[in-house]
Amino acid sequence: MIIDNKGKLFGVINIIDLFLIIAVLGAVVFVGTKLMSGSVLPSNQKFIVKYYTEEVSDFAAEKIKIGDDVMDEPKNLNLGKVTDVKVSPSIIYSPDSSGKIVESPKEGYVSIEITSEVYAQSYPHGFIVEGNQYSINHGLTIRAGYGKIYLRVSGIEAVN
């Protein structure tokens, strides 16, 4: 008899235990197949990322140089290296003498655009570094060189 009067298959293993073992093995095979197929995370890809802020103290902007590491300050994540720095007059909006809102620079401040290259995971809205997602208009504090600046991601370009 295949199943004896104690409910054991061939007198060795309980039929319920057998179903549990088969279910666990099936789950292990499923997870292993997903991990080995590479469908969990895409491979690292090179991204050109632009960061921008309209107003930062000029002494902080002066401390950021090409070749500096770009770090997401609070998370201490490396976001690549600075490849370009563009400094322009600051952009603030304030009322003129007639009360009309106008764009004007602010003494001692500049706007800055920092470009970096980073190798990261791609996802439909930007890129991922160590599980942290970055998209256009993502606000963050970065450290580059001796400068520390709050700015936004203003451009992301995937490089093939």
Region 43-50 average pLDDT? 90
Please say if the pLDDT value at position 144 is more than 50. Answer: yes
Question: Residues 84-105: pLDDT tens digits?
Answer: 999 999 988 888 899 999 988 8
Strand residue runs (E) in 25-159 = 45-57, 69-72, 77-89, 92-95, 101-104, 109-123, 126-129, 132-134, 139-144, 147-159
At 149, list the tokens.
């600046």
Reported residue count of the chain is: 160
Beta bridge partner(s), residue 153 = 51
CA dihedral 73, 75, 76, 82 (to 10 degrees): -60
Asked whether 6 and 12 are in contact (CB, 8 A), the reply is: no
